[in-house]
Chain A
Amino acid sequence: MSVRLSLLAILDQGPCYGYQLKSEFDRRTGATWPLNVGQIYNTLDRLERDELVEKTEKTSGLKTGNDTDGQVFYQITEAGRREVSGWLGSPVLRSAATRDELAIKLAIAVTLPGIDIGRVIQVQRTATLRNLQDLTKTKNATDDPETSEELAWLLVIDSLIFAAEAEVRWLDHSETRLARAAAAGLAVPLPLSTDVPKRGRPVKSESRA
């Protein structure tokens, strides 16, 4: 979704061909999520089908030469422009319950006997912190951004840094919560339940039984 709309937003600046769009996307996002050209052409096909872009002869002032010979240029349509402005003006909604491997792993681990959950947390925290150190080191290698590309790249790096920090904070929080639970005698492993699980869809109410 974000690739489709990002490409559309770039096309709002003028007509582009496939590889040109790839290079524009990469330089505007710090080359953090490089796109392959096949993905670009697939996206352009769908955008064209949805009448958000159309093929054109125009080249938006690109220096033409051998490299652009035979390239198919795409330009944004009015509907495409509305789509871009709608995207930029609305919040990004994340699905509330995306399956997160780490959250699932901790939740399962806490119910298993003989697992040192503190160790599980510490191993993860060390790895996340190492990632955070690497990101910080990379960021520290660049002083104040001097170009828009560097600025865009810094925003992306910051986003990864803050996400890693949030994970560490959640791990800290979980550790404290588990310590309290253990002190209160709550953190006991779950044996397999002896109840036979109900098959099929969950029953909506008991009244029909």
Chain B
Amino acid sequence: MNDEVLLQLAGVSQQYGKGATAITALSGVDLTLHAGELVAIMGASGSGKSTLLTIAGGLATPTSGEVIVEGEWLSTMSAKGIAALRRRTLGFVFQDFNLIPALTALENVILPLELDGWTRHKARTAGIDALRTVELADRAATYPDDLSGGQQQRVAIARAVVGSRRIILADEPTGALDSTTGEVVLRMLRRRVNAGAGGILVTHDARHAAWADRIVFLRDGRVVDESASTGVERLLSPAAQL
């Protein structure tokens, strides 16, 4: 992790409805994501995890508070400007992969670049690079239906970090995968983050949250606690002991 801040939420609150029937989904949440950092958000259903992710990704506007993405204050931007910023800076990874079946793995990955006006050639080069980081460059021409669940999720990660995109917002990305495949996906995500990206991982699964540098707990829309790894390797591998 370094000091560069990729994403910041400052005093973010989200309310649905008004008056007596108003529901508070988030209440005064502060969160800072640095480059090279993976932050997990945990909490029971309805604790505000997913709301936090949609607000962080500029897909919803908070009732109050600020969202700052790579130095840009979303509250000062137009919807069109936010959409462009989103394409350039951040990518979502969902439980159900969300790949377009009619496009190949590579075409899925480079879609945000093409929408952003990149030339086909430049986009393809960046797309192959992104696929290489998830060890799927050899499946670039394959359609999603011919990929396993784990491979589809790795394509989704490649799409989330293609080009200059460095913020990965993942909502239960291993939810549809078996435990071993889920681990491979998390390992890839961790590797991208170690290489300088930043990630927010929403999960209810402690074993998956444990891949993060910090774990933030939400309860009733508030951050109630934070757990950071001590960074001490209590148990050394046999190889490291030699």
The chain A residues found within 8 Å of chain B, CB to CB, are 27, 30-32, 122, 125-126, 128-130, 132-138, 140-142, 147, 149-150, 153, 157, 160-162, 164-165, 168-169, 172, 175-176
CA distance A136 to B215 in the complex (A): 13
With A132-B206, A168-B206 as contacts: A122 and B224 at CB distance below 8 Å: yes
Q: Is the CB of A135 within 8 A of B206?
A: no
B 204-242 to A, binary, CB cutoff 8 A, 1 in contact else 0: 111101111001010000001111111111111111110
Q: Which residues of B contact A (CB under 8 A)?
A: 44, 187, 190, 204-207, 209-212, 215, 217, 224-241
Q: Is there contact, CB below 8 Å, between B210 and A135?
A: yes
Inter-chain pairs besides A129-B227, A168-B206, 18 sampled, C-beta below 8 Å? A31-B236, A122-B217, A126-B227, A128-B206, A129-B215, A132-B207, A133-B229, A134-B235, A135-B210, A135-B234, A135-B235, A136-B207, A142-B237, A147-B238, A150-B238, A157-B235, A162-B207, A165-B206
- B210 CB → nearest A CB, Å: 4
Distance in angstroms between the alpha carbons of A137 and B207 in the assembled complex: 11
B235: which of A128, A138, A149, A164 is its contact (CB, 8 Å)?
A138
CA distance A172 to B233 in the complex (A): 26
Cross-chain pairs A/B with CB under 8 angstroms, 10 sampled: A126-B226, A133-B229, A134-B234, A136-B207, A142-B239, A147-B238, A150-B239, A165-B205, A165-B206, A165-B207
Q: How far is B187's CA from A105's CA once the two chains are assembled, in angstroms?
A: 36
User: Known contacts A126-B225, A129-B227, A176-B44; is A136 also within 8 Å of B238 by CB?
Assistant: no
B237-A153 in contact (CB<8A): yes
Q: How far is the CB of B1 from chain A (nearest CB, A)?
A: 13
Are A134 and B232 interface neighbours, CB within 8 A? yes
Report how far A149 CA is from B238 CA in the complex, Å.
7
Output the least CB separation between B34 and chain A (Å). Answer: 17
CA distance A45 to B44 in the complex (A): 53
A132 touches B210 (CB 8 A): yes
Q: Given the complex, which residues of B lie within 8 Å of A157, measured CB to CB?
A: 235
**Distance A162 CA – B205 CA, assembled complex (angstroms):** 11
| Contact B230–A130 (Cβ < 8 Å) | yes
User: What CA separation (Å) do A147 and B242 show in the bound complex?
Assistant: 14
Cβ contact within 8 Å between A137 and B233: yes
Cβ-neighbour of A27 out of B210, B235, B238 (below 8 A): B238
Residues in A neighbouring B225, C-beta threshold 8 A = 122, 125-126
List, in ascending order, chain B residues with CB within 8 A of A161's CB.
207, 210
Cβ–Cβ < 8 Å partners of B236 in chain A: 31, 138
Cα distance A137–B210 in the bound complex, in angstroms? 8
Q: Is B238's CB under 8 angstroms from A130's CB?
A: no
CB distance from A81 to the nearest CB of B (A): 28
A130 to B237, CA, bound (A): 19
**Shortest Cβ distance from residue B225 to the other chain A in the assembled complex, whole angstroms:** 5
A133 touches B207 (CB 8 A): no
Least CB distance from B102 to A in Å reads 34
**Is B238's CB under 8 angstroms from A31's CB?**
yes
Provide the residues of chain B in CB contact with A176, threshold 8 Å: 44
Residues of B within 8 A of A31 (CB): 236, 238, 241
Closest to A171 in B: B206
Q: How far apart are the CA atoms of A169 and B210 in the complex, in Å?
A: 13
Q: Is the CB of B238 within 8 A of A137?
A: no
User: Given the complex, which residues of A lie within 8 Å of B217, measured CB to CB?
Assistant: 122, 125
How far, in angstroms, from A165 to B235 measured CA to CA in the complex?
Answer: 17
A32 to B235, CA, bound (A): 7
Bound Cα distance A34, B138 (Å)? 45
Q: How far is the CA of A126 from the CA of B206 in the complex (A)?
A: 11
Contacting residues, chain B, for A27 (C-beta < 8 A)? 238
Bound together, the chains give a CA A132 to CA B212 distance in angstroms of 10
- Tell me the minimal C-beta distance from A174 to chain B in angstroms: 12
